[in-house]
């Protein structure tokens, strides 16, 4: 069990920055549990039985975990954000009074609140700031060019110096590492995360993935694994987002439990639709399924255009906002020749579309 007294404060004073949490307790059993949880979050805490002297440690620590046994001993300490009162007796009504007495933001009871606390400590260690702008790309029908556009968007983002992760959420797509010419690159693929649950460290995830064209790629291997449990998908994508920058996800057209986990964490989605009536009809079904989870879905129309159709008419037929006209250039039909990703040269209509898309999307994210 856990509960908030006033608000859920940022993990560090004066901004998000890494640091060591402070533990104040004389309860040996509670201390063992808190040390175990800190270790799970990758943190090495400072431990005291009372408020440390000089009091700079109390005031500077990004997170203070006060054992319920120590509440009376820290009552005279300076009030500050980021104090959590930790206990075990869920039936003790006095714990809330003691929390107010020390200015705690949160009351947490073990063992029920363990995962919340691990997440909070890990936020402190990683110095969490603004999450990554996360964009999903999905084809309105097969062969629409969604994977190609996802790769081009990721390459364009990395070229601008943004931290960029490209996530392949389609196990039947052949692997985006192949699309980027890195099928033999060292690093983990999706099957390695199948057993993940709880929190995945953002920094550890990034370091474990292959680096191709100045971006990190989470793809599928060529093995038999075709699915990852939804809780693992949730944990991995949350870790990818915590580092800031940009995350681009290549989505399959079916929506299963794992894809629903991805959709729930997207900031916006691009539905790539060739400008032909059958493609528009197929895209309408995809949009209906995706729109049940993703609120911000926009259409990117790819030419050439069938008679009577243009990008605005396609968007009108689908009832979706128009993201733009994806240029019909050879890269969209033959994207992976010689391991050269689409848009890699930074020139041409596709690269220009990606650059303009990020300019708009990043401004929207900053002002949201």
Q: What would the mean pLDDT of 303-321 be, rounded to a whole number?
A: 93
233, 225 contact by CB (below 8 A): no
User: What is the pTM (predicted TM-score) of this model?
Assistant: 0.73
Residues making up the chain, counted from first to last: 368
Q: Which two tokens mark 293? A: 């989870």
CA angle 359, 158, 338 (to 5 degrees): 120
Q: What would the mean pLDDT of 32-59 be, rounded to a whole number?
A: 87
- Give the model's confidence band at 2: pLDDT under 50 very low, under 70 low, under 90 confident, else very high: low
Q: Which of 10-14, 333-337, 346-350 has the lowest mean pLDDT?
A: 10-14
Handedness of CA 62, 236, 34, 108 (dihedral sign): positive
Task: List the one residue out of 208, 154, 151 whose CA is nearest residue 178.
Answer: 151
Position 5 pLDDT exceeds 50 = no
Q: Print the SS3 string covering the chain.
A: CEEECCCCCCCCCCCCCCCCCEEECCCHHHHHHHHHHHHHCCCCCEEECCCCCCCHHHHHCCCEEEEHHHCHHHCCCCCCCCEEEEECCCCCCHHHHHHHHHCCCEEEECCCCHHHHHHHHHHHHHCCCCCCEEEEEEECCCCCCHHHHHHHHHHHHHHCCCCEEEEECCCCCCCHHHHCCCCCCCCCCHHHHCCCCCCCCHHHHHHHCCEECCEEEECCCCCCCCCCCHHHHHHHHHHHHHCCCEEEEEECCCCCHHHHHHHHHCCEEEEEEECCHHHHHHHHHHHHHHHCCCCCEEEEEECCCCCCCCHHHHHHHHCCCEEEEECCCHHHHCCCHHHCCCCCCCCCHHHHHHHHHHHHHHHHHHHC
Position 338 pLDDT exceeds 70 = no
- State how far the Cα of 26 lies from the Cα of 49, in Å rounded to an integer: 5
Residue 337 has a pLDDT of 53
Residue 178: burial class (beta carbons within 10 Å; 0-12, 13-18, 19+) = middle
Position 16 pLDDT exceeds 60 = no
84, 63 contact by CB (below 8 A): yes
Position 14 pLDDT exceeds 60 = no
């Amino acid at each position: 069990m856990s509960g908030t007294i006033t608000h859920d404060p940022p993990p560090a004073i004066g901004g998000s920055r890494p640091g060591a949490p402070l533990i104040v307790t004389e309860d040996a059993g509670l201390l063992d549990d808190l040390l175990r949880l800190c270790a799970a979050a990758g943190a090495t805490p400072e431990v005291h039985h009372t408020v440390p002297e000089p009091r700079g440690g109390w005031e500077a620590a990004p997170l203070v975990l006060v054992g319920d046994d120590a509440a009376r001993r820290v009552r005279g300490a300076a009030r500050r954000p980021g104090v959590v009162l930790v206990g075990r007796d869920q039936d003790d009504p006095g714990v809330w009074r003691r929390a107010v007495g020390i200015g705690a933001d949160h009351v947490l009871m073990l063992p029920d609140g363990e995962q919340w606390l691990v997440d909070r400590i890990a936020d402190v260690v990683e110095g969490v700031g603004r999450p990554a702008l996360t964009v999903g790309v999905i084809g309105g029908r097969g062969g629409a060019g969604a994977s190609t556009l996802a790769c081009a968007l990721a390459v364009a983002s990395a070229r601008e110096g943004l931290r960029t992760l490209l996530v392949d959420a389609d196990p039947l797509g052949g692997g985006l590492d192949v699309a980027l010419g890195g099928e033999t690159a060292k690093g983990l693929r999706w099957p390695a995360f199948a057993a993940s649950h709880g929190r995945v460290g953002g920094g550890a995830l990034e370091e474990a993935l292959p680096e191709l064209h100045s971006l990190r790629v989470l793809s599928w291997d060529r093995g038999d694994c075709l699915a990852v449990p939804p809780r693992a998908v949730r944990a991995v994508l949350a870790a990818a987002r915590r580092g800031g920058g940009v995350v681009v996800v290549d989505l399959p057209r079916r929506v299963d439990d794992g894809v629903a986990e991805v959709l729930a964490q997207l900031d916006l989605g691009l539905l790539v639709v060739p400008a032909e009536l059958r493609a528009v009809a197929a895209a309408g079904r995809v949009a209906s399924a995706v729109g049940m989870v993703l609120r911000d879905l926009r259409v990117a129309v790819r030419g050439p255009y069938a008679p009577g159709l243009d990008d605005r008419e396609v968007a009108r037929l689908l009832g979706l906002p128009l993201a733009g006209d994806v240029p019909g250039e050879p890269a969209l039909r033959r994207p992976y020749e010689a391991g050269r990703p689409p848009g890699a040269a930074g020139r041409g209509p596709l690269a220009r579309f990606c650059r303009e898309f990020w300019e708009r999307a990043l401004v929207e994210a900053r002002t949201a």
